[in-house]
Structure 1
Amino acid sequence: MTINDNVKAYEKLGAFYLGRRILASGEASRESILYHSKDLTTHAVIIGMTGSGKTGLGLGLIEEAAIDKIPVIAIDPKGDLGNLMLNFPAMQGSDLAPWVDPQTASSKGMSLGQYAEAQAKMWREGLADWDQPLARIQALRDAAEVNIYTPGSSAGVPVSVLQSFTAPSAAIRADYDAYAQRIQATTTGILTLLSLDADPLTSREHILIANILQHYWDKGEGLDIAGLIGAIQSPPIERIGVMSLDSVYSAKDRFGLAMRMNGLLASPGFAAWLQGVPLDARQLFYTEAGKPRVSVMSIAHLSDTERMFFVTMLLSEIINWMRSQPGTGSLRAILYMDEIFGYMPPTANPPSKMLLLLLLKQARAFGLGVVLSTQNPVDLDYKGLSNTGTWFIGRLQTDRDKQRVLDGLVGAAAGAEAVAKSELERTLTGLGQRQFLLHNVHANGHLEVFNTRWVLSYLAGPLTREQIKRLTDEKANSLSPATLPVAPPAVATVIDQAPVASPSPQVSISVLTAKPSLAPDIPQYFLAPSIAAPETDSHLCYQPCLVAAAEVLFSSKRHKIEQLEKLVMGVAVDDSQVSIAWQDAEVLAIDVNDLSKRGEQAASYRVPSASLEQANNYRQWDKQFKRYIRTERALSLYRSAGLKLSSEVGESEGDFRIRLQTRANEQRDLAAGKLRKKYEAKVQRLEDRLRKAEQVIEREQSQASQQKLDTMVSIGSTILGALFGGGRKSSTARRAGSAMSKANRIRKESQDVENAKENAEALRVQVTELEADLQRELAAMGEQWDSQRDELQEVVIRATASNIHVSLLGVLWRPYWQAPDGFSERAY
């Protein structure tokens, strides 16, 4: 909901400072407009023509989110959002000099330095006028890390989009609709990049690539671009539907598609799409340590087809990340798109449209807020508008735009506050620059008009590629060891059992031979080859190692942990080795159920070491393996005493801090709601008393005025009687006495009015003090729920001997491809 507030301390719990209210008279006020971050889970749309202040509102909203430690991915088709990196705590002319426009300075008859200083002065004064100290800029920089990413370019931080088509998470694959949409969107994005407008139901290209992706993704495997090209030529499927592959898409035609994709891959400018950080929503939203990020995805330099491809891939990745998160009612993260034109049109169906509609429908349950910005409301599909709970409407360009918005607002407000269309039309027509009409469904349809606040970041206009490169290079150079971001608080360690070390190196050597004969009580296992031979004259050769597998139960009643780990390890053993250094062994990513008792025919074998041939050694190795697990193989978790939460198995400290912040936000919103409700009841009682006191003032003033009138009449009558006679002296005396009595009552009535005013003023003071108490408690609560400052304990849980079950111990024969020159490569 929207909060009315006269207090300058606008840094309130879970609230975004957007601007100041404009009164019904059209006059600007000093009343702050604060927006509850939780309301953004029902998404928002910003509508306004060029010059309306739409970008400034968006930048301000992103700044508020960052200060509130809410991460943001911002898609920037125009280049304006990169200004979020131009925040300078000192705000001096020297800070702005590299970013001001030399031509503008020249046109004003000023040197570059003079113009930069004038801009810095204007920014300092603007921030001060909006009650924002320069320290708030530092708070913004400290709260979140800002980066500019440039897919297909090395100007900013490059993003590797085509290096790998990573398989969706298990949660996505388990959701039929989400999985099908991910396959369709990725396929359409790829074909869009090839300038192929492919229908999912009729296009052979779309059907083939979708089936290839599904084949690999069903197994949890990803594909790189080279692998996709190879799979197009030699698909891993034989049938499409009920028809054979060649009947649907001949080998010759498939080769043509593969050549087209290979040509794109081989083009000189395409290398940038294969370089850079991976397209990973987790890394775009947070640092490794769990600190929130504002990731500006600058795509102004791309062609229309490249933009559509990248946006589609990014939205697919965000949905994949979103589906892996637990549900929450608080705002977890924001997806912001600065210009939605062409990505969610009302008639056409580009690949980005179904993904955006999916986000608008489902993201709320995961705490992901979507903010879409556009110049024209007709650029948006009506389904998208109907799924947004907050509308920010600025100056509109055409009557058609105005009517579309008016119809939407009147329909949205039905059943809440009665909204007169004519009044709305007058309000929209009267909006000036940086003025917006706010409609928020959480405010019961109540409409507000406000001026947007002064942004903390310097607005240099759309950044060029050279400016982006300078910004990102400066940031990279500034990350010297002395200025690296401060690490999270130290982690205290609690160890249940003391570890015991066990040294010993590993050695392996053997000679090519036929399958050796081992004692019958030495178990032997074979790993099947899964990689094709690299050369036609290579042959299969098995090499031996010691393998051990165990099921280990880590149990702790105190920390409510019951975790079963399946462990498979392999280590080479030399001829005389009896003691095994299991800490140096390789953890094998294999399932013991996939091992077989026989190897491939016509394969050769390396001679096992003498130690592997001694059956007595295996009993010793079994004991050593169990001791290693018991003493060295511990389960490490993190514990937050404040929130009484422990990390999950395999969860990094950074990911745990992210989860803690989400839980902290939930509890913060709940606690803040209870606190506000408690104070609202007290304020309501005082306001009721104040209202009655004001009624008393009005009544006493009315009585005093009437008494004055009666007294004046009485005095006048007495004076006239005394002057002109017409009565007895005693009657005149009585009238004079009555007039004096009435004069005394005037004094009493006046005193009553003053007493009533003092009582009302005292009540107003109490209301103000109560509101100040609420803000102090909210501020203290904000520090309490900041998980980034939370000191974590590291909890080490070790398995007891009774919870360690060794399921196999023996010789594992691993397959290799042996070349004639003696060089060997893994075949698994």
Structure 2
Amino acid sequence: MQDYEKLGAFYLGRRWDAGTGQVQDDLVLYDSPDLTTHAVIIGMTGSGKTGLGISLLEEAAIDKVPVIAIDPKGDLGNLLLTFPELRPADFEPWVDGHAVAAAGQTVPEFAASEARKWREGLAEWDQGPERLARLRAAADFAIYTPGSSAGRRLSVLSSFEAPPEALRADADLYREHVQAMVTGLLTLAGIEADPLASREHILVSSVLNKQWQQGHNLDLAGLIGAIQNPGIGKIGVIDLETFYPSKDRFALAMRLNNLLAAPGFAAWTEGESLDAGALLFTPDGRPRVSVMSIAHLGDTERMFFVTLLLNEIVAWMRTQSGTSSLRAILYMDEVFGFLPPVAAPPSKVLLLTLLKQARAFGVGVVLATQNPVDLDYKALSNAGTWFIGRLQTEQDRNRVRDGLLSATPGGLDSATLDATLASLGKRTFLLHNVHEKSPVLLQTRWALSYLRGPLTREDIRRLAGPATPAAAVATPTPTIPSAPALPTVPAGASAPRANRPVLPPSIPEQFGTATGRPGAGERLVYQPGLLGAARVAYVSAKHGVDLQRALMVCLESGSDTIDWRDAEALTLDQATLAQEPVAGVDFAPLPSALADPGAIKNAQSAFRTWLRTGNPLVLWRSATFRKLVSAAAETEGEFRARLQQHAREERDSATAALREKYAAKLATLEERARRAEQAVTREKDQATGSKIDAVVSVATTVLGALLGRKTVSATSVGRASTAMRKAGYAKRQSGDVQRATETLEQRQAEITEIDARLQADMAGLDTGFDAQTEALEEISVRPRASDISVQFCGIGWLPFIEDANGNLRRA
């Protein structure tokens, strides 16, 4: 691990000298907490903008910071092309066929040249295979293609789930959430709707608001039904039928139904749920870099998806605790059309919300574009960091200059900025960071990832691997809770029959409600199981737990033995269960064990015992951070992700303490160097520049990174030696230079001493914490008998649809 990585600094490149047009030895480092004030990257095609963005995301991944990257052009998928061994065979499947033809080489020859180029490029920028391996190990990389099966699939249906309570409690944020969701949906349906004037927008917003305020989830099919029968008497003070007659509501429902029925829309209903938490972290808490490839989508579909995604990110963000450390990054590779200066697409409101509020939650927003004219620079005034690369026209440079000057009033000189922007070449950027005293010019480092250019659908398909298993694919009805494994018919049992079994009065029964309908050649069948429902309170003052949990479990009917340890958890609400069956539905055979009153009574007693002894609330405690214990509703993966964030906050806090400790000492040395420069200047010695440059630049990489100098010497010892030689030459010329030389030697010794102290202090920092390998102690919180309330224990008849082949699925 490099020293700067221990301090949370991102290595972006080296300083570039505009006067000579040469790259210097000084590393350009960027403190990760600075990104919480957001960043914008602006540069024309060929400026190196994508390479800079990918390098920034690589540094974040190495620091175990999760990323959601929106990729409208197809370039960011290159993040998945990392080859630690840098073998030609690794590059061969991914080389660009057009580039191969242009080079007049065979594919193996071109792959070998690319491998050699990458090996030499990385070495030139002081990066080796070990850093590539660290990148690969630090995070999980995934590429998603919403609306397509090329990459990992995403279902947008979960986006109609009720937002978290924290978001609903914020009236302004909740209103923006509803408005953006409805605007995005109507836009996809080809309906241009003004949130304040369109009755379509107002009606759909009212329907969503009513359902969400009651905590109900909706899918698109449910929303269509609710539009026809909203259950709302008035819109404002106007009667519903007057405001929006049922005939017109039916026409709107038909238009949305056409969208749902369109063959292409099926791709939007399949795949993993659109869940920001799952896009940022794997189930076991490992940070994830999720690339959202949307190059294959049309403009309308892009706006629809980006709106849903931004909505989801805002909702997730509001559930997080505040932090000054970087928690996650939202990166958008081309913001053109999503944040325009005049128009107000649904994405703009959400991006403005993130730019204004995400800092408090540690979420950094990075927006990149090659179209500087069509950007809302008032919105971008919220960005604390600007990376400005080569621009195509004078108009573009003037627009960026004006935007940057308005974002940093009084901080930059217009004429100097004009000259600097005009001098930028490929891979050279002006970096302006409000956390630093002055801007700096840099040339970007060599990317660890293989930058082969935009990925094709076939490239993405190969990167994504096998299609998502059916079990992991979201269903079109996310409001239906998950079911246990399909019931099995006992060996030798007869086929399902229509008659309801007659049970003794002492055996209670309840019936599930079917939400799906059988198709041609199918029928509804009630399958029996042993159903238990209870409310359980888990209380522990020691661990700060006071949790009420509604529990429902079901034992399959295929076994003659009753053991609640084998029960499957359901997410059904007992209020949805009926006391009587639906007429005309067939019943599957009932095992003899479930028809025995004595066996049911024993099962009821065993259920209560199991709730008390066999169903504890499991918490986890960190071995490193002993005071940190998981929350009652927190999964192990979520706790590990929180541990990694805590470790990052501890590191940032320790870095700040070191910075405060050493800043004054270095400031004193710099002041002494300044005085020496003044003394030599008075003597008009020609060697002044080299001596004083040496004095000021001998700070080490670690000191520079620590003290906020984003340009620091990578070869301080060698440069100091050169300075000594120059000073030695000057020493022969005058006594004043001799004294300056002695001062130089003294300052170098002092800086070396400070560096040694810093290295010793850094050795005490715990910078290698990995939440994935952290040992966790399990803590079991069991309920007291008095904290258990059994609401039901008996026969549960759950509705299934049986096809012509006897296969069953939940109804």
- TM bucket (normalised to shorter chain) is 0.7 to 0.9
Residue identity in the other structure for 2:8: G
State yes or no: 1:428 paired with 2:421: yes
Contact preservation (8 Å) 1:554, 1:635: no
- Alignment partner of 2:8 out of 5, 14, 26: 14
Map 1:400-799 → 2, pairs under 5 A: 400-414=395-409, 417=411, 419-444=412-437, 446-473=438-465, 549-555=534-540, 557=542, 559-567=543-551, 581-584=563-566, 624-644=606-626, 645-687=628-670, 757-758=741-742, 760-771=744-755, 773-774=757-758, 777-778=761-762, 781=765, 783-799=767-783
State yes or no: 1:279 paired with 2:271: no
Report the CA distance shift for 1:817/1:25 in structure 2 as closer, same or farther (over 3 A): closer
Q: Deviations over 1:397-441 (max 9, x none)?
A: 3333322332333344435x4x32111111111111111111111
* 1:142 positional shift: 1.0
* 1:458 positional shift: 1.4
Contact preservation (8 Å) 1:528, 1:599: no
Contact preservation (8 Å) 1:152, 1:270: yes
Residue identity in the other structure for 2:648: N
Please name the residue that 2:244 is paired with.
249
Report the CA distance shift for 1:467/1:365 in structure 2 as closer, same or farther (over 3 A): same
Measure, in 1, the Cα distance between the counterparts of 2:593 and 2:27: 82
Map 1:145-224 → 2, pairs under 5 A: 145-162=140-157, 165-224=160-219
Please name the residue that 1:733 is paired with.
none
Contact preservation (8 Å) 1:12, 1:779: no
Report the CA distance shift for 1:756/1:98 in structure 2 as closer, same or farther (over 3 A): same
Residue identity in the other structure for 1:678: K
Identity %: 51
- Alignment partner of 2:351 out of 356, 359, 364: 356
Report the CA distance shift for 1:317/1:124 in structure 2 as closer, same or farther (over 3 A): same
- Which protein is bigger by CA-based radius of gyration? 1
* 1:163 positional shift: 6.8
Residue identity in the other structure for 2:783: A
Map 1:293-312 → 2, pairs under 5 A: 293-312=288-307
Measure, in 2, the Cα distance between the counterparts of 1:77 and 1:818: 41
- Alignment partner of 1:329 out of 313, 321, 324: 324
* 1:389 positional shift: 0.9
Contact preservation (8 Å) 1:67, 1:144: yes
Measure, in 1, the Cα distance between the counterparts of 2:283 and 2:774: 16
Measure, in 2, the Cα distance between the counterparts of 1:80 and 1:463: 7
Residue identity in the other structure for 2:31: H
Measure, in 2, the Cα distance between the counterparts of 1:601 and 1:273: 33
Measure, in 2, the Cα distance between the counterparts of 1:112 and 1:630: 66
Contact preservation (8 Å) 2:732, 2:738: no
Q: Deviations over 1:157-179 (max 9, x none)?
A: 12222476222122222222222
Report the CA distance shift for 1:663/1:530 in structure 2 as closer, same or farther (over 3 A): same
State yes or no: 1:260 paired with 2:255: yes
Contact preservation (8 Å) 2:530, 2:594: no
Contact preservation (8 Å) 2:529, 2:554: no
Report the CA distance shift for 1:546/1:420 in structure 2 as closer, same or farther (over 3 A): closer
Contact preservation (8 Å) 1:638, 1:792: yes
Map 1:128-147 → 2, pairs under 5 A: 128-147=123-142
Contact preservation (8 Å) 1:357, 1:383: no
Report the CA distance shift for 1:78/1:776 in structure 2 as closer, same or farther (over 3 A): farther
Map 1:362-401 → 2, pairs under 5 A: 362-401=357-396
Q: Deviations over 1:755-806 (max 9, x none)?
A: 77356324314413533653564476353444333221122233345x5344
Report the CA distance shift for 1:533/1:195 in structure 2 as closer, same or farther (over 3 A): closer
* 1:560 positional shift: 4.1
Contact preservation (8 Å) 2:529, 2:555: no
Report the CA distance shift for 1:125/1:530 in structure 2 as closer, same or farther (over 3 A): closer
Report the CA distance shift for 1:531/1:82 in structure 2 as closer, same or farther (over 3 A): closer
Measure, in 1, the Cα distance between the counterparts of 2:606 and 2:154: 46
* 1:302 positional shift: 0.9
* 1:566 positional shift: 4.7
Measure, in 2, the Cα distance between the counterparts of 1:611 and 1:775: 71
- SS of 1:443's partner is coil
Q: Deviations over 1:286-338 (max 9, x none)?
A: 11111111111111111111111111111111111111211211111100111
- SS of 1:789's partner is coil
Measure, in 2, the Cα distance between the counterparts of 1:468 and 1:602: 50
Measure, in 2, the Cα distance between the counterparts of 1:588 and 1:97: 49
Residue identity in the other structure for 2:748: R
Measure, in 2, the Cα distance between the counterparts of 1:783 and 1:795: 27
Contact preservation (8 Å) 1:45, 1:372: yes
Contact preservation (8 Å) 1:640, 1:791: yes
Please name the residue that 1:118 is paired with.
113
Q: TM-score, normalised by structure 1?
A: 0.77
Q: Deviations over 1:601-650 (max 9, x none)?
A: 999999999999989996x7776444323321212111113223111123
Residue identity in the other structure for 1:116: A
Report the CA distance shift for 1:792/1:122 in structure 2 as closer, same or farther (over 3 A): same
- SS of 2:368's partner is strand
Contact preservation (8 Å) 2:513, 2:798: yes
- SS of 1:787's partner is coil
Please name the residue that 1:314 is paired with.
309
Report the CA distance shift for 1:612/1:452 in structure 2 as closer, same or farther (over 3 A): same
* 1:510 positional shift: 13
Measure, in 2, the Cα distance between the counterparts of 1:476 and 1:410: 48
Measure, in 1, the Cα distance between the counterparts of 2:450 and 2:630: 40
Q: Deviations over 1:444-488 (max 9, x none)?
A: 4x11111111111111111121222222238999xxxxxxxxxxx
**Is 749-758 or 236-245 further displaced after alignment?**
749-758
**Is 156-165 or 136-145 further displaced after alignment?**
156-165
Contact preservation (8 Å) 1:568, 1:588: yes
Q: Which runs of 5+ in 1 are unaligned?
A: 1-6, 478-504, 703-746
Contact preservation (8 Å) 2:618, 2:778: yes
Contact preservation (8 Å) 1:525, 1:595: no
Q: TM-score, normalised by structure 2?
A: 0.79
Report the CA distance shift for 1:424/1:148 in structure 2 as closer, same or farther (over 3 A): same
Please name the residue that 2:706 is paired with.
none
- SS of 1:455's partner is coil
Q: Deviations over 1:198-253 (max 9, x none)?
A: 11222232223222222322232222233233333444434333333333333333
Q: Which runs of 5+ in 2 are unaligned?
A: 470-489, 686-730
* 1:117 positional shift: 1.8
